[in-house]
Amino acid sequence: MPLSAQLKTPVTGQYEQPTGLFINNEWVESVDKKTFEVINPSTEEVLCSVSEATEKDVDIAVSAARKAFEGAWSKVTPQQRGKYLWKLADLAEEKLELLAAVESLDNGKSITMAKGDVGAVVGCLRFYAGWADKITGKTIDTDPDTFAYTRSEPLGVCGQIIPWNFPLLMFAWKIGPALATGNTIVMKTAEQTPLSALVFATLIKEAGFPPGVLNVISGFGRVAGAALSSHMDVDKIAFTGSTLVGRTILKAAASSNLKKVTLELGGKSPNIVFDDADIEQTISWVNFGIFFNHGQCCCAGSRIYVQEGIYDKFVEAFKKRAIANEVGDPFSEKTFQGPQVSQLQYDRIMGYIDEGKKEGAKVEVGGERHGDKGYFIKPTIFSGVSPNMKIMQEEIFGPVCTIAKFSTEEEVIKEGNNTTYGLAAAVHTKNLNTAIRVSNALKAGTVWVNQYNMINHQVPFGGFKESGIGRELGEAALANYTQNKSVSIRLGGAIF
């Protein structure tokens, strides 16, 4: 099969889309020559077909990564690793328009948001480029006859599995700390959105990375993802996606070689609005908190709690704001919300909407399809909800939220924590004491105050409870990709 296809976007015109597997710095087809189709979520039409990795291809990619880790990559200095990452960031910045356009084409997100994602990719890679030569150990004074010290060493071959909601951004979050600390990678992209990562892979060799250091494969979770998770020569698996799949990966890691695992999983995040909040600004943040990226965001503020003194006023203002969101063509600069990523995801979200209606919740706005082509859903707000409703308990992962009234701080803390998840939360208030008190009481890995979804590569991100294990971003992410070695040298004579 050909290893590329000619595709077209309104931003770039025609461009060459790689469709093969990127292994050992070369484009190859899968061993079994299998392919799968990639669908445009805006039109429901086939964009192209890409190579499908199976267990055989995972074996080849892991072997390439192992050879690089024990060979050329082990001889590269930390400073040089940083230079490679910085060069990769520079190349991504040069290709920002193309990368963003492919992301919009494949994922359906608005071109404005896609450009923001690529900008964040660049920032993330540069951040970890700066960390590459700052991975240090310690000397420990135990006694005069001993010299003891510690080293932070890379884990080895890392399998990384990324989701379809932020394909390029999750790519950068994963490779940044892994490469900075000296590991090699086999990256499996989401089967729904493989295209932007394949375009990004063309930059890896150009940035100077030796063969086998960063391999990119397309494939299905139940085949390629499962093979990576259970592979006996993979030292670490990192996954972003659903809690259900995260459990499967954790079991596979445990039952194989007990590889290290980090998981960034689902959420059902509370977004709490107190009576003294600035309503106009809060409406903007609450709207962004749930409808950003079509609601396909693990930390989406999907459970909105508004104090009784401003509840009615807030609901009316929020409805107007949601209706004003521009839903449509992702390549229009006016568009805020594009289509859901796939037919499966569209059906799943509509199923939750139907369930909410059956359970007696009131649809304030939305609750139906937008247009007659593509996987578009109108921004949807439910009121009249109770804590045990399905739409209050389960992650919907779409442009759907619930809004509930509360009286006291104690009540809303209890309700906010009434979930198996703990990824994120937000508090809106002008009272600093309230903000700190409630933030401290909420069981979530990230709490925003008077804002939402403002993630920065310098700040750790990850979940409590069933929202994950470990942290992405910031200095904290480096610990996911290193292991500590203690060395003790005898300076004195024999004791025994």
Q: Which two tokens stand for residue 302?
A: 């999907």
**Cα Dmax for the chain:** 84
Cα 402 to chain centroid distance, Å, stands at 23
Q: Which of 264, 364, 395, 466 is catalytic?
A: 264
Residue 393 to residue 267: CA distance in whole angstroms: 10
Catalytic residue status for 264: yes
Burial class of residue 144, CB neighbours in 10 A (0-12, 13-18, 19+): exposed
Q: Is 495 left (phi over 0), alpha (psi -120 to 50) or beta?
A: alpha
**Strand blocks (E) in 190-302:** 214-218, 236-240, 260-264, 270-273
Taking CA atoms, 210 is separated from 52, 134, 462, in Å, by: 24, 22, 31
The tally of CA atoms less than 13 A away on the side-chain side of residue 271 is 25
Residue 280 to residue 36: CA distance in whole angstroms: 46
For 288, residues 6+ apart whose C-beta sits below 8 A from its C-beta are 452, 453
Burial class of residue 249, CB neighbours in 10 A (0-12, 13-18, 19+): buried
Name the helix (H) or strand (E) containing 315. Answer: helix 311-324
DSSP 140-160: EEEETTEEEEEEEEE--EEEE
Which residues, in sequence order, are bridge partners of residue 13? 9
Residue 472 to residue 455: CA distance in whole angstroms: 11
The one-letter amino acid at 476 = A
Phi, psi of 376 (to 5 degrees): -95, 135
Write out the catalytic residue numbers: 264
